[in-house]
Amino acid sequence: MSIDTLKLRSVRIDTYHENVAYLNRECSIYRAEGFQALSKILVSANGSTLLAVLNVVDDDSIVLPGELGLSQQTFEHLHLDEGTLAKVNHAEPPKSMDAVRRKINGENLNQGDFTDICNDIAETRYSKMELAAFLVASGQNNLDRSELLFLTRAMLQTGEQLNWHEPLVADKHCIGGIPGNRTSMLVVPIVAAHGMLIPKTSSRAITSPSGTADTMEILSNVNLTPEQMLEIVREQRGCLAWGGTAKLAPVDDLLISVERPLGIDSQGQMVASILSKKLAAGSTHLIVDIPVGPTAKVRHMRQALALRKLFEFVGDRLNIHLEVMITDGRQPIGFGIGPALEARDVLKVMNNDPDAPADLRQKSLQLAGRIIEFDPDVRGGQGYAIARDILESGRACAKMNSIIKAQGEKAIDLEPGKLNYQVCADRDGVVTQIDNFQTAKIARMAGAPMEKKAGVDLLKKMGDKVSKGEPLYQIHAEFQADFLFAKKLAQQNSGYSLGDNEQILKPLTAF
Amino acid sequence: MSIDTLKLRSVRIDTYHENVAYLNRECSIYRAEGFQALSKILVSANGSTLLAVLNVVDDDSIVLPGELGLSQQTFEHLHLDEGTLAKVNHAEPPKSMDAVRRKINGENLNQGDFTDICNDIAETRYSKMELAAFLVASGQNNLDRSELLFLTRAMLQTGEQLNWHEPLVADKHCIGGIPGNRTSMLVVPIVAAHGMLIPKTSSRAITSPSGTADTMEILSNVNLTPEQMLEIVREQRGCLAWGGTAKLAPVDDLLISVERPLGIDSQGQMVASILSKKLAAGSTHLIVDIPVGPTAKVRHMRQALALRKLFEFVGDRLNIHLEVMITDGRQPIGFGIGPALEARDVLKVMNNDPDAPADLRQKSLQLAGRIIEFDPDVRGGQGYAIARDILESGRACAKMNSIIKAQGEKAIDLEPGKLNYQVCADRDGVVTQIDNFQTAKIARMAGAPMEKKAGVDLLKKMGDKVSKGEPLYQIHAEFQADFLFAKKLAQQNSGYSLGDNEQILKPLTAF
């Protein structure tokens, strides 16, 4: 073994998206190369290379001098055995950081610049700091719409792309921020029952109390291999899978992993993120749902319109048939917030239960109707009626059952979390506002989405009359600590505003 | 022990500036709280709190369920014993990130915003990503000069401040980028011999082949406690210490730890960084050296002038008597690049050796002269002559020897690294340019500053006539690997340009 090779060793530390390498301080290479903790190093073994952040170890039980420890995901990523010989070198900063620095200096970048940046990001050559620098430099109004097109194209091209070999592959996407908004679980079976291809992949919750994948997981398996998904979609015309396993637009995931903790999200990044993912998934026709309301992501109609234009500009140039629906985002959709509670709402709508939440049903039918009208054989204006017919006839329910069976049925348990607390009205009046952020935060504190049965169950919605002391909503939790946190938060700010009838905010979409 | 307390454990992993906490995946708290690897957690123990990035561990020999592992510096920072009970919670993002997001959106921030940001950074509430976001948002021309003043004041106020209880505390600072530029080691003894107080602290090299602290370390100890420094300065009127141990303007260190790897440095950040450090060190009078040249940090005279105005604007408002000297930055100063080689140059000037590098001598005398003219008893224009007299009379040398003795003398060994390679002229001609970056990089590759005797020794400087085959400079190294790297780099690009006499670049300062 030459002086400059090390034996690979798996260190059972989970460092998530960040590659970490561990070198013993007594290791001769560490000393010779003048590495420093946190410096980035290039690891090469058996023809593979990766970049990792260096941690220096003073404990021989973690790594010995002569060994190169790698954190779990990093080690697995290499697909090599422990003991394989590896080399380490100083990592050069990614070349495309020059372009990022030009952007910081206010220059416009071209397609080649964005392609280089996305290639380097996809090859995990960017540290979290470098990703943050790129995001801030290209955030807000710093990208013009041509640059946004270049970025979207580059994000699309740096990952795999699915091809369904059909002329019409439908999809829908909501920009998010509205708790309980589980329309996909109704839209997919309706549209698939109509015969259109709708291979829907969804995310799990990151900052919300539940994502469509979390809620669908109450009913069926959602972790499908690409092969399973292909087969299910071929048979059922649709699926409701978790999108995390596919390698579609991987740059998007890496950017989001920095954007979220920083709490920065620009409209441009949102458009690039959504369209690159949808195009990579092989979608040809897409409905984008933009909810507008005082506690939604988009608060003003003019913002929604500007965002629509951005979606249209980029979508048209990347050859996707895209329509934007601006919807009512003044309050959560449905009653339940949290995986099991939301699944209950979905099933009620699916079963045409008279207690089903009307807003969830209505919005799902509108979205499904718009998608069905992508079908050239459907007359303009007929989509909604077709969707309603599919739902009311039980065909949507039958299709959903087939999809659930195909993905892997689960023993359904919709019983909400056993600890519960009612938040009550402090006056007589009418519900004038329900805060999307606050109700989502309370549901999350209660344990959603990790605890499937935890969350918030809304008993009153906007416009409902309430008497003093009457319950507005109920918190469900599984664990005492979560329960107390959520209760405390609800006591500080319930998220409900009560007033007189005329104080109800008009839907912004009506302006 | 309650369910939600953990026993502290030191994990012998060095993660440098980043606090890292290790939780076993089987730990009940990890499961209950829904933490995720890389999420930020708040650690509380015995009344102390700190924020740390979470790594999840699947190896009981690193941490057991029920234990909370902390990386080395993090554990030491708490000053608690292993086994102390600790709690962990989700860390709230720092409140001042709201201001950073406003800055990203193009708003101007006020003094309160900058104070909040610097307080949160000083309390290590900012992750590397958040620091990068702040740096990019406030980089380049994004801060107007009032904001720069607010930032400098906030950086100053979030650390300790020295008070020398004297009306005139002199200091000098070079913005950097010129190899071999060891003027401080000459200026300090000259100025101190004149009787002025000059308690100089310097940095070690981060990206350069040597910092003043590295070079001074060849001659004496530079790691002084604040008490030692105080005593030495009281007796000697000056010192040449490493500034890393003091807690002056700690925010600056944290910002630099992100700025360097990103390769972003704005003029604004530079001014805030330098002035906050100098003011915190108790300086009342400061000379700022701005070298200008095609491979210097500042490449054009107009940039140097703009930077001068920024220094003056902020300095005047923070009550420091500040003068800017724009100097010739067209090539390295002196002959040696690397700690031992530079120390040799300094001693030659100090001993009035006829072979001493003329440029190092000349520049040191100019700087010392300007500082001496801060003395109200010195007539304008007399400073240079006084400095030269102090140097030529041997008084500077005597003072330097006293300072070296006081700091802790070392056995001086100026023998350069034993492996050496000569880079020779490929044509007859005149040296027309010497690239500061390239010569610094070669010296660094050769092992400087870790290997004290490694570096580059320039045999020819600009304007020198050379014949084909005549050596231009010599590389010195201690280790074979370093030696080969440096040699290869020099073969790719020697850093020297040879031409005809009239091609020599005029000093930009003369324009």
Longest dimension (CA), chain B: 81
What is the C-alpha to C-alpha distance for residues A310 and A149, in angstroms, rounded to an integer?
A: 9
Phi and psi for B478 in degrees, rounded to 5?
A: -105, -30
CB contact under 8 A, B59 and A105: no
> Which residue of B12, B22, B140 is in closest CB contact with A104?
B140
Extract the tokens encoding A121: 């990001």
Would an 8 Å CB–CB cutoff place B256 in contact with chain A? no
Residue B258 confidence class, pLDDT cut points 50, 70, 90:
confident
pTM: 0.80
Residue B245 confidence class, pLDDT cut points 50, 70, 90:
low
Give the burial class of A494: count Cβ atoms within 10 A of its Cβ; 0-12 exposed, 13-18 middle, 19 or more buried: buried
Query: A92-101, A437-446, B103-112, B334-343: which has the highest mean pLDDT?
Result: B334-343
Give the burial class of A377: count Cβ atoms within 10 A of its Cβ; 0-12 exposed, 13-18 middle, 19 or more buried: exposed
> Which residue of A25, A136, A481 is in closest CB contact with B133?
A136
> Which residue of B18, B130, B136 is in closest CB contact with A38?
B18
Dihedral Cα B389, B393, B398, B400, nearest 10 deg: 40
Extract the tokens encoding B61: 């020999």
Phi and psi for A336 in degrees, rounded to 5?
A: -80, 145
| Contact (CB, 8 A) for B275 and B318 | yes
Task: Using DSSP, state whether A238 is helix, strand or coil.
Answer: strand
Q: Residue A507's pLDDT is what? A: 64
Would an 8 Å CB–CB cutoff place A62 in contact with chain B? yes
- Please, what are the domains in chain A? 6-90 (2.40.40.20), 95-157+247-270 (1.20.970.50), 170-245+271-407 (3.40.1030.10), 419-503 (3.90.1170.30)
What is the C-alpha to C-alpha distance for residues B45 and B65, in angstroms, rounded to an integer?
A: 18
Quote the mean pLDDT of chain B.
Answer: 91
Task: Using DSSP, state whether B175 is helix, strand or coil.
Answer: coil
Q: Which residues on B lie below 8 Å from A62 (Cβ)?
A: 12-13, 62
CB contact under 8 A, B261 and A127: yes
CA angle, residues B226, B227, B229, in degrees to nearest 5: 65
Chain A stretch 2-41, residues whose beta carbon is closer than 8 A to a beta carbon of chain B:
4, 11-18, 20, 22, 25, 32-34, 36-40
Q: Which residues on A lie below 8 Å from B447 (Cβ)?
A: 34
Residues 6+ apart with CB under 8 A from A455: A209, A210, A336, A337, A338, A339, A340, A341, A342, A416, A417, A443, A446, A447, A448, A475, A476
| Contact (CB, 8 A) for B438 and B297 | no
Task: Using DSSP, state whether A259 is helix, strand or coil.
Answer: helix
CB contact under 8 A, A262 and B129: yes
Rounded to a whole number of angstroms, the distance from the CA of A351 to the nearest CA of chain B is: 33
Q: Residue A481's pLDDT is what? A: 81
Chain B stretch 430-469, residues whose beta carbon is closer than 8 A to a beta carbon of chain A:
447, 450
Q: Best residue in A63, A128, A136, A256 to probe B by mutation, most B CBs within 10 Å? A: A136
CB contact under 8 A, B262 and A129: yes
Q: Residue B511's pLDDT is what? A: 38
| Contact (CB, 8 A) for B41 and B88 | yes
Element (H, E) at A42: strand A40-45
Distances (CA, A) of A470 to A422, A426, B337, B365, B490: 9, 8, 80, 85, 81
Strand (E) positions, A334-428?
336-337, 419-424
CB contact under 8 A, A55 and B141: no
Chain B stretch 214-253, residues whose beta carbon is closer than 8 A to a beta carbon of chain A:
none
Query: Beta strand A198-202 with B48-57: parallel, antiparallel or unpaired?
Result: unpaired
Q: What is the pLDDT of residues B174-205, one digit of tens each?
A: 998 999 999 999 999 999 999 999 999 988 88
Residue A376: CB atoms within 10 Å: 7
| Contact (CB, 8 A) for A455 and A420 | no
Q: Best residue in B3, B4, B11, B13 to probe A by mutation, most A CBs within 10 Å? A: B13
Dihedral Cα B227, B232, B233, B237, nearest 10 deg: 170
Instruction: Check whether B384 has a pLDDT greater than 90.
Output: yes
Residue B429 confidence class, pLDDT cut points 50, 70, 90:
very high
Q: Residue A216's pLDDT is what? A: 97
- Give the residue-averaged pLDDT of B320-343: 97
Residue spans of chain A under pLDDT 70: 1-3, 31-34, 36-38, 245-246, 502, 504-511
Strand (E) positions, B369-508?
419-424, 429-434, 455-458, 465-466, 471-477, 496-499
Q: What is residue B318's DSSP assignment?
A: T
ipTM of the complex: 0.74
CA angle, residues A192, A193, A198, in degrees to nearest 5: 5
> Which residue of B15, B36, B137 is in closest CB contact with A136?
B137
Closest residue of chain A to B258, computed from CA coordinates: A129
Q: Residue A505's pLDDT is what? A: 66
| CA within 13 Å, CB half, A99 | 23
Residue B430 confidence class, pLDDT cut points 50, 70, 90:
very high
| Contact (CB, 8 A) for B161 and B127 | no
Q: Residue A69's pLDDT is what? A: 95
